[in-house]
Amino acid sequence: MRLETDAVIGVFRADKNKRSTIVCVEIRMAWIWKRKSLIATSLIVVVSLFVAAVNYSEKPYFLLQPVFGQTFSSHWMFSKQPYKAFKPHLGYVSVPKQEPLKLHCELCSIVSSSGQMLGQAAGPQIDQSPCIWRMNNAPTRGFEHDVGRRTTLRVVSHTSVPLLLQKPQYFFGQGNDTVYVVWGPLRNMRKDGKGIVYNMLRQAAENYPHARIYVTTEDRMNYCDMVFKKETGKDRIQSGSYLSTGWFTLILAMDMCKEIHIYGMINDTYCKTDGYRKVPYHYYEAGSRDECAEYLLHESAPYGGHRFITEKSVFSKWAKTHAIKFFNPPWQLS
């Protein structure tokens, strides 16, 4: 390369007649061609490396595809699926356009709907978090001091969609950039006109074109079931239970958030601890059943219950390999 460049310059300097001009042009052409082929070769190498890198980093990401089997271990979430910045997530698609959810956050604070939130004055700390996630229709108004003011994302159960639609302007109206991620079984979420909840969401998206509404895909729902089975050894359907909104929230957060702070969630032994704090199941339902009573009822329900306590023991396992911290009450994770 270097020699040829010098030769070209030399010929240029000596150039006085036509012949040497032709020689010069020939040498120059050869040089340019060589340079081009070198650039082309380098480009091919760089592009191949890039493609290889992208492929490599994307493989664990598409968990919708069967990447289970041997690769699935208690550490899989952490080692196989690190946090991805801004990659569209195919497990959640917008209504009605079916565009994948694009989201990422350095720190997500997940605010539980539990009565544990009451009287802890965590609001100001929660509001400092770049991303604040809530569940279902849990209100902020009137509870700001305990739960904070801001909401960046809500994970919503199909059964809570009618509750949001009682205050559509508040939840979906202009100026509200909260992202809504709705989960539900196919029978309610199908997009062929027969999914009653999907139809409601499509209507809401029509009435509030700026609303950011996403639904969990059927594949992703199956994936969440599969995670339950892998972690507990129990088939979710055969055991007659439903996953909780908290389960879907944590699975989503582990894909979207680098760090997770969870407020107001009790651990799996809390309700067996002497002198535990009795609080309402939901902070916004003052007269409702005590949280532990509700949890025990669900845990033992032969059909249609949430396995809250089982789920909590899985969460504590995930917290050992993922940046998850629990506040009010704190969890001791060894």
Ligand X SMILES: *[C@@H]1O[C@H](CO)[C@@H](O)[C@H](O)[C@H]1NC(C)=O
Site residues for ligand X per CB under 6 A: 140, 151, 154, 170-171, 175-176, 178, 267, 269-270, 273, 276, 329, 331-332
Nearer to ligand X, 62 or 276 (CB): 276
Nearer to ligand X, 47 or 163 (CB): 163
Q: 24 or 309, CB closer to ligand X?
A: 309
The greatest distance separating any two alpha carbons of the chain, rounded to the nearest whole angstrom, comes to: 104
Compare residues 60 and 168 and give the one whose CB is closer to ligand X. 168
Classify 193 in phi/psi space as left (phi over 0), alpha (psi -120 to 50) or beta. left
Minimum CB–partner distance for residue 38 and ligand X (Å): 56
Going by DSSP bridges, is the β-strand pair 105-111/100-102 parallel, antiparallel, or unpaired?
unpaired
From the list 241, 215, 100, 115, the residue with the least C-alpha distance to 161 is 215
Measured from the CB atom, the residue of 66 and 275 that comes closer to ligand X is 275
- Whether cis (ω within 30° of 0) applies to the bond prior to 66 is no
- Of the two residues 120 and 176, which places its CB atom closer to ligand X in the complex? 176
H/E run at residue 324: strand 324-327
The least distance separating ligand X from the CB of residue 115, rounded to whole angstroms, comes to: 14
- 315's enclosing H/E stretch is helix 308-321
* Distance of closest approach, residue 269 Cβ to ligand X, in angstroms: 5
Measured from the CB atom, the residue of 157 and 267 that comes closer to ligand X is 267
Contact 321, 309 (CB under 8 A): no
What are the DSSP calls for 10-60, one per residue?
Answer: HHHHH--SHHHHHHHHHHHHHHHHHHHHHHHHHHHHHHHHHHHHHHHHHTT
Distances (CA, A) of 70 to 66, 180, 319, 321, 334: 11, 34, 22, 18, 26
Closest separation in Å from C-beta 248 to ligand X: 17
The H or E element containing residue 144 is helix 144-147
> The tokens of 1 are what?
């390369």
CB of 280 to ligand X, least distance (A): 17
As measured in angstroms, the least distance from the Cβ of 66 to ligand X is 33
Q: Which two tokens stand for residue 199?
A: 């139809």
User: Minimum distance from CB of 154 to ligand X (Å)?
Assistant: 5
State which residue, 140 or 249, has the beta carbon closest to ligand X. Answer: 140
* DSSP annotation string for 250-276: HHHHHHHEEEEEEES---TTGGGSTTP
DSSP conformational letter for 332: -
Q: Closer to ligand X by CB, 154 or 322: give it.
A: 154
Q: How far is the CB of 273 from ligand X (least distance, A)?
A: 4
User: What single DSSP character describes residue 61?
Assistant: T
Q: How far is the CB of 333 from ligand X (least distance, A)?
A: 7
